[in-house]
Amino acid sequence: MLTAGHPDHRLSERELIVLMALLMSLQAFGIDSMLPALGVIGSDLGATGNERQFVIGAYFLGSGIGAFFPGAFADRFGRRPVLAVGLVVYVVFSIACAFVTAFDWLIGLRLVQGLFCAGLSVVPAAIVRDRVGGDRMARLMSLIMMIFLAVPLVAPTIGQAILTVLDWRWIFGAMAVMGTLVGIWVWLRLPESLVPENQQDIEPRTILKNMGNALMRRDSIGYVIGSALVFGSLFGFLNSSQQLIGEHFHAGESFALIFGAAVLGMVVANFTNSRIVERFGARRVSHAALLGFIAASIAQYISAGRADQQLWEFVPILAVSMASLGFIGANFSSIAMQPFHQIAGAASSAQTSLRMVSGAVLGSAIGFAYDGTARPLATAMLSCGLLALAAILFSEKGRLFARRTVQS
């Protein structure tokens, strides 16, 4: 096993992609596997109405706030120790959540779990940036996201399968098992990628300076804000999806299938992006995808405005929106990280924190605005898409589709 400061690139690119995806997927599994169980959890623990969404929102918010911290520690002590802390907390708090008897305790535990597990979202991007940059980073991140998104495809099905034979508490048991298995893989196979010349001081002044740099560059910040906006609307769908599909469209028994069909577009989009991004450039691909997201949001807004909107209308348009996000996520993230090779951990922390806190607050607001129809979600998606376009135009000084050469 290698020590910090002596990176070993013998870990193959394929294994790196799969391992980074699995680390990030632990966060997704901790959210999406809960979706079919929200009604049961709320009933068992005394939560009513839209309150059940806090099981998701608290974890999102905790992850967003917590993301502000692990990058600085990863830039000082290395990537592996930060991942180790996140994995241990993920397992221990999953077990703790399985034994709660009060809804308030569950929300508190989920919030703290999100806080301390934020490194599982932050550090993988820093590890990839340690190795590559530019459009190649966008390609790798697309492949990581493609595998990562397989979890939202199957997690609701796993959650629903557990509910058919066991108590909802066993979903948290499944989280603990997954965290343990991924932790063993990290311990045995993942080398340290932080080199000595990129180690940063842990002093607050240095941390704040590095994070400030990561959030102050005009060519980067628009992509962070744009990503927060469009994915905030996605979080809004996640928060309200169980009620929207189960109660508004009366298709609760098919929830996992419908949710998976909507997410499948993101998987296909990320695979396609990995094939084309180095040819056309991350900016060109993601700018076109953002315009596609806005167009789909307009269609959804018009459809949701009718009193008799049908499920067969809602799901295909949502799938197009989510496919657009598949071309946006990895590319926006890679463009935002390109200038920060020497402070990749701090930059990933600052940017991830801003994205997730903003997305969590926005997503909770959208979800809590659920009124028995798809109108609040459709309105939010269109508004977020237009605001994201304004943010990108700010970073690009009013010009879309330009391709830039960056240092890798």
Span 298-307, pLDDT tens digits: 999 999 998 8
pLDDT of residue 354: 87
Dihedral of CA atoms 368, 370, 376, 380 in degrees, nearest 10, equals: 30
SS3 267: helix
Inform me whether the pLDDT recorded for 408 exceeds 50. no
Percent of the chain with pLDDT over 90: 40
Q: How many CB atoms lie within 10 A of CB 204?
A: 9
Q: How many CB atoms neighbour CB 263 within 10 A?
A: 26
| Three-class secondary structure of residue 9 per DSSP | coil
Residue 94 reports pLDDT greater than 50: yes
pLDDT for the residue numbered 183: 96
At residue 77, does pLDDT exceed 60? yes
Residue 262 has pLDDT above 50, yes or no: yes
Instruction: Report the pLDDT value the prediction gives residue 3, as an integer from 0 to 100.
Output: 39
- Per the listing, tokens 């990628």 go with 193
The pLDDT tens digits for 122-176 are 898 889 888 877 777 778 887 888 887 778 778 888 999 999 999 999 999 999 9
Residue 207 has pLDDT above 80, yes or no: no
- pLDDT, residue 225, reads 94
pLDDT of residue 8: 47
Say yes or no to pLDDT of 294 above 80: yes
Which of the four pLDDT bands, split at 50, 70 and 90, describes residue 407? very low
Tokens of 403: 């391709």
Q: What pLDDT does residue 405 have?
A: 55
Residue tagged 């990933």 (tokens): 348
| pTM greater than 0.75 (yes/no) | no
- Taking alpha carbons only, the member of 265, 258, 228, 257 closest to residue 374 is 258
Which segments of 85-126 are extended strands (E)? none
pLDDT given at position 404 = 66
pLDDT band at 10 (very low <50, low <70, confident <90, very high): low
Query: Whose CA is closest to 283, among 138, 133, 398, 126?
Result: 138
Q: How much is the mean pLDDT over the chain?
A: 86
Weakest-pLDDT range from 105-119, 202-216, 308-322: 202-216
Contact (CB, 8 A) for 334 and 104: no
Calpha distance 80→130 (Å, rounded): 13
pLDDT higher than threshold 90 for residue 378: yes
Residue 371 tokens, joined: 């009124």
Multiple choice CATH, 13-189+201-395, 1.20.1250.20, 3.40.350.10, 1.10.3720.10, 1.10.510.10: 1.20.1250.20
Tell me how far apart the alpha carbons of residues 314 and 298 are, in angstroms, rounded to a whole number: 12
DSSP string, 173-204: HHHHHHHHHHHHHHHHHPPP---GGG-----H
Let me know the angle formed at the C-alpha of 132 by 332 and 350, rounded to the nearest 5 degrees.
45
Single-letter residue type at 95: I
DSSP string, 129-160: HHH--HHHHHHHHHHHHHHHTHHHHHHHHHHH
The per-residue pLDDT for range 224-241, each reduced to its tens digit, is 999 999 988 888 888 888
Q: What residue segments make up the domains of the chain, in order of their start?
A: 13-189+201-395
The Cα 89–Cα 176 span in angstroms is 10
Q: Per-residue pLDDT averaged across 362-375, rounded?
A: 88
With a cut of 80, say whether residue 15 has pLDDT above it: yes
